[in-house]
Amino acid sequence: MRLAYLGPAGTFSEEAALAQAARDGAVLIPLSSIPALVSAVETGLADRAILPIENSIEGTVSATVDLLIHETSLQICAELVLPVRHFLLARPGTTLGQIRAVKSHPQALGQCRRFLERCLPAAEQIASLSTAAAVAEMMQSGDDSCAAIGTLRAAELYGAEVLAWDIQDHRTNMTRFIVLAAHDAEPTGQDRTSLCFTVKRNVPGALVEVLNELAAANIQMTKVESRPMKSALGDYYFLVDIEGHRRDPHIAEALARMAEKAAELKIFGSYPRHEIGIEEARIPRR
Amino acid sequence: MRLAYLGPAGTFSEEAALAQAARDGAVLIPLSSIPALVSAVETGLADRAILPIENSIEGTVSATVDLLIHETSLQICAELVLPVRHFLLARPGTTLGQIRAVKSHPQALGQCRRFLERCLPAAEQIASLSTAAAVAEMMQSGDDSCAAIGTLRAAELYGAEVLAWDIQDHRTNMTRFIVLAAHDAEPTGQDRTSLCFTVKRNVPGALVEVLNELAAANIQMTKVESRPMKSALGDYYFLVDIEGHRRDPHIAEALARMAEKAAELKIFGSYPRHEIGIEEARIPRR
């Protein structure tokens, strides 16, 4: 089993890939973009690919969702929810007082705004292409006045020291990853199904008419989101996650009725739910 | 009229602020974060603030939506939709063959991926905190092997030359901005109302039950999105935009019925719709 992930090593995507590999013993293949991950599975370079799909702070990962809607018939066979943890990393022996600049991906800098304002108000913020690149650059620079925001794994890979733990503003920042493969998963009784649809006419009630089929069959929606179509402003795709497997009889019937009422309906796959409790999500201080 | 916007000068936010100022003659005040914009209006430093709320490629701007949900009672009094245009900028006299590195905000680099792969496959990509900062740094570096991706306005501000026009991958990449003030707008007959709500029980049909009130009153929804609550995973806020003004009688009645069925309902304001046609959105080559 070969699992492709969004490299380089030391990012959250690698953390998710390592967690997934711990479940299924996969060998990891780092690739450099989200479209490359999909191509790798489609062409047999990899058996599966793990991609971020949404973050509780930043929202939907557009690149992933757009591939699912427009470009691939690969199916979701698993999901994985990981808490996002940020660490202030520096060259070994550095103290907080020495830090004049902090490097990271702008999203990570944004997610640690409160910590940076309080503890490093005078430090210059410098952007990097990834948190892992920030840690690598900081270590290679030989500059003890520079720190980086990154993962524990990046600290380990590049020999950085942890100056501060869990510096992210929100204690419940989670990222949800999906695993794509040629086929989705067998029913387990604790499943989720992801799909998208468009409505026939852009009129009041057209969306509710489709969603009513889920309500009538007592099926729980766990997500709904409208996304503008690329071709025409004002028209939307609706992304929906529901509890249950597409082969469960009541789900299969409801999906068939939804497909009749919708203009187009595409099922991204059914897979075991990965639920993470609020206690698990709330990270203790060290 | 003083209008606060997300600086520095030369970003899309400044472009939106200039477009808004052309409507109402406002004086512009640049501030450095989205929370600062809200505080400025709340404390009287500014009369209004203009903030990005969603992008057709990147989706919802979480920082703006989270402030509307949790932190402010300011109202939306206007919206503005702007096409996003990216330009390859360099020091005057530079040719494409000299370029070894391209600087920009990672989001802008991502939105020009196809152009960069095709026309500058060997160039190193370097991250900056904003597109405007990328252009400023490139101009100050004195380095003719470096280009930046930025706005036309940044080219003008910093004296850069345009090497390539409209290098973004999608021809219909739009950003929607909202203007916040103490009060929302008077009805014009062509309005939109933005709101959020939570449902009483996290059970099948609870969402549809609330949305049904809109369908029953023949009110068109132009957006619906579920966002996880920060306090508890699995519970959601629903963000909804509808056509019409909250003071239109049939809207007022439907909102009252929705408020009864919802656990909480907060109206962000009613304001004139800014519709932008697909032709206007599709940017001609030069």
Cβ contact B93:B161 at 8 Å: yes
> Quick one: average pLDDT of B129-140?
92
Residue B113 confidence (pLDDT) above 60: yes
pLDDT tens digits along A107-161:
889 889 889 989 999 999 999 888 999 999 999 998 999 999 999 999 999 999 9
Angle at CA A200, nearest 5°, toward A198 and A205?
90
More confidently predicted of B245 and B59: B245
Question: For residue B145, what are its two tokens?
Answer: 């092997």
> Quick one: average pLDDT of A50-76?
87
- Name the catalytic one among A175, A193, A197, A198: A175
At A200, phi and psi to the nearest 5?
-65, -45
Shortest CA distance to A60 belongs to which of A70, A68, A48? A68
More confidently predicted of B172 and B97: B97
pLDDT value at residue A225: 86
More confidently predicted of B98 and B223: B98
What DSSP designation does A263 have? E
pLDDT tens digits along B200-239:
876 778 888 899 999 899 998 888 888 877 655 557 889 9
B207·A228 Cβ contact <8 A: no
pLDDT band at A39 (very low <50, low <70, confident <90, very high): very high
What DSSP designation does A248 have? S
Burial B68-92 (b: 16+ CB within 10 A, else e): bbeebebbbbbbbbbbbebbbbbbe
Say which of A224, A233, A275 has its CB closest to residue B278. Answer: A233
B129·A125 Cβ contact <8 A: yes
Residue B280 confidence (pLDDT) above 60: no
Distance (Å, whole) CA B226 – CA B197: 10
More confidently predicted of B36 and A227: B36
- Amino acid identity, residue A110? G
Backbone CA torsion sign across A23, A26, A27, A29: negative
Shortest CA distance to A130 belongs to which of A158, A109, A159, A157? A109
What rounded mean pLDDT belongs to chain A?
Answer: 89
- CB count within 10 Å of CB B105 equals 21
> Quick one: average pLDDT of A181-188?
97
Burial A112-142 (b: 16+ CB within 10 A, else e): beebbeeebeebebbbbbbbbbbbbbbbeee
The maximal CA–CA distance of chain B, rounded, in angstroms, is 65
**A1-84+173-183, what's its fold?**
D-Maltodextrin-Binding Protein; domain 2 (3.40.190)
A203·B214 Cβ contact <8 A: no
The reply to whether B39 touches chain A by the CB within 8 Å rule is no
Cβ contact B241:B223 at 8 Å: yes
pLDDT value at residue B204: 76
Would you kindly state where each structural domain of chain A is located, as residue ranges? 1-84+173-183, 87-164, 184-273
Residue A72 confidence (pLDDT) above 80: yes
CA distances from B237 to A66, A144, A173, B74, B228 (A): 23, 44, 16, 19, 6
> Quick one: average pLDDT of B175-183?
95
Question: For residue B163, what are its two tokens?
Answer: 């090497």
In B85-124, the residues whose Cβ lies within 8 Å of chain A are 105-106, 109-110, 113
Question: For residue B37, what are its two tokens?
Answer: 């914009």
The maximal CA–CA distance of chain A, rounded, in angstroms, is 65
pLDDT band at B169 (very low <50, low <70, confident <90, very high): confident
Label the pairing between strands B59-60 and A2-6. unpaired
CATH 3.30.70.2860 fits B185-286, yes or no: no
Interface probe, candidates A64, A65, A233, A278, chain B, greatest B C-beta count within 10 A: A233
B204·A218 Cβ contact <8 A: yes
CA distances from B269 to B158, B184, B193 (A): 38, 5, 6
**B87-164, what's its fold?**
D-Maltodextrin-Binding Protein; domain 2 (3.40.190)
pLDDT value at residue B251: 97
Q: How far is A163 from chain B (nearest CA, A)?
A: 23
> A-chain residues within 8 Å CB-CB of B231?
172
Helix boundaries (H) for B101-184: 106-111, 113-119, 131-141, 152-158
> Quick one: average pLDDT of A175-202?
93
- For the CA atoms of A145, A148, A153, A154, the dihedral, rounded to the nearest 10 degrees, stands at -80
More confidently predicted of B33 and A280: B33
Q: How far is A84 from chain B (nearest CA, A)?
A: 14
Q: Using CB atoms within 10 Å of the CB of residue A39, give its burial: 0 to 12 exposed, 13 to 18 middle, 19+ buried.
A: middle
In B216-235, the residues whose Cβ lies within 8 Å of chain A are 216-228, 230-234
- Among A5-14, A16-25, A245-254, B185-194, name the one with the lowest average pLDDT: A5-14
Distance (Å, whole) CA A157 – CA A177: 23
A60·B62 Cβ contact <8 A: no
pLDDT value at residue B283: 53
Distance (Å, whole) CA B155 – CA B158: 5
pLDDT band at B275 (very low <50, low <70, confident <90, very high): confident
Pick the CATH number of A184-273 from 3.40.920.10, 3.30.70.260, 1.10.10.10, 3.40.309.10: 3.30.70.260
pLDDT band at B114 (very low <50, low <70, confident <90, very high): confident
How many Å separate Cα B211 from the centre of its chain?
25
Backbone CA torsion sign across B246, B251, B253, B257: negative
Same fold, B1-84+168-183 and B87-164: yes
CATH 3.40.309.10 fits B1-84+168-183, yes or no: no
pLDDT band at A7 (very low <50, low <70, confident <90, very high): confident
ipTM: 0.73
Q: Which residue of A has its CA nearest to B229?
A: A56
More confidently predicted of B172 and B160: B160
